[in-house]
Structure 1
Amino acid sequence: MSDAANRVADASGNWVDTRAPRWSRPYLRLARFDRPIGSWLLLLPCWWSAALAAGIANSIGQLPRIITLFLIGAFVMRGAGCTWNDITDRDLDARVERTRSRPIPAGQVSVRQAVFFLAAQALIGLFVLLQFNRFAMAIGIASLIIVAVYPFMKRITWWPQIVLGLAFSWGALMGFAVTLGRIDATAIALYAGSIAWVIGYDTIYAHQDTEDDALIGIKSTARLFGARTSQALLAFYGLAVVLIGLSLVLAGAGLAAWVGLAAFALHLAWQISRFQIGDPARCLQLFKSNRDAGLLLFAGLLADAAMRVG
């Protein structure tokens, strides 16, 4: 079978498919290195909190190191989470058009091989975590409980996006734990705002699969909201902006941070204006655009931290 036939349905034409050694491609696909958007979305709350905490501490000396470690950790642990998700969902994935080409249901990687690959990624993640203080290490390890249960949530609740939000927003706590050695009201507000953001963008993402999900009994906020999804997005994205704004108030953030939040809010409003339930390609495009939304906020927070020190 040609390698083109082994590509994941919604990830063709990337560097994994064209440049990576052939033996590594199934594993890189399993870790979603052919679709790095999820790693970016896991990383961005880490970067937000690192920049905001650095501004509170009036010190950016360690920020480049922390940003780099978060980058490595996010990409590796997102890969580990996706590997775990594919192990637990292999039978369901085989029944959905968009996911049946994933490495395990497609027969490119065995479950045993996937488990060993998961362990290897977890060890790299542990190495990154060991670079931080003990409090941050404990907070990081605690997130594994949420990661472990998430794949099962879509079988039992219409709100699996909340659990995904709890997991993907965990980095909003980590920056404070690493930099300040504590989690305070500012961190909690940032975390809550990020959860609302995740619920919004993953609802958009889930609209790609609503027909298949209905056939096999998978629950999601996309199916729950249905034709009211635009209103739900307005509510959750609006809540995200308000809660992140609260975190800026509590942090005593300056103008640059507020400009970043304004740009973030405008991007989310643009997503809502462009959203169409019956257009899976547009849903994927809008979902992916959240990387840019998050980077706009990060740029503002980073500039604010630098200006506070200066």
Structure 2
Amino acid sequence: MSQKPVKVRHVTVDERGDGQRIDNFLLRELKGVPRTLIYRLLRKGEVRVNKGRVKAGRRLVAGDVVRIPPVRLPEASEVGKPPQWQIDKIEKSIIYEDNLLLIINKEPGLAVHGGSGISFGVIELLRASRPQEKALELAHRLDRDTSGCLMLAKKRSALRTLQQLQREGRVRKRYLALLAGRWNKDRQQVKVPLKKNNLKSGERVVRVDAAGKHAHTEFRVVQRFSRATLVEAELKTGRTHQIRVHAQYLGTPILGDEKYGDEQANREFRHLGLKRLFLHAASLRFPWPEREQGYAFEAPLPPELQELLDK
């Protein structure tokens, strides 16, 4: 198969890229290229903005000139198109949609971003379903194994508003989690810093670390069981794996968590039918300019988790 010649490109950021993170901008410009390669190019300084090196979190401004190094893009046949049944399934998961926002009830096991030509995540499936939505972007992320409310923006202006609201802590994100063990307290505030670590295998693990970033989770007991506690967790900050690591820090990890959990407790609850992480993004609530009542969304607990509680 002949490969198209590749060379350095200089792309001027337009309104569509205004306010977007450089890593997300590159994912769009280099469709089908693995995320790991994008981060490697940024680390090596091969991507430049206005001739200067940048980090993955750098937000672009309209008029910025981005140097994109030579990268061979996969042919369309390599990237592939999502199967229709997957597209139909993601469409059925939509809770709400208007001209600015799209909210889905994400199923567990579905990544928000897919890998190169192997699997398709939420964003690839929705873009394949509605190719006319040129500016469709994720407004935040959920772990692959977490189910529930996920926000997407359909316009750059809506994405900027959602990002600003999240930075200001004005988006209320409420999760339901089943923890191993019983709590005596009704509420717990956890304020311990978290730091990302990459293992030699390439796996990402988050640890409590004084050198990490500030992280704050508020836990409230919903129901006590003999060997477990159902809690509501509200994120005050949005760090990677935050609820999972804070629950582990308290000595009561989330059941079904293979990375931060308790192996023995997971085994016991597997016999009761728990085959996944018991973490569900139950609701989202946030104000909106020129919309007096703001927005509020809820995603019911998936049947398999409700059945476990009933048992």
TM-score under structure 2 normalisation? Answer: 0.26
Larger Rg: 2
Structure with the largest fraction of strand? 2
Structure with the largest fraction of helix? 1
Greater relative contact order structure (CA < 8 Å, 6+ sep): 1
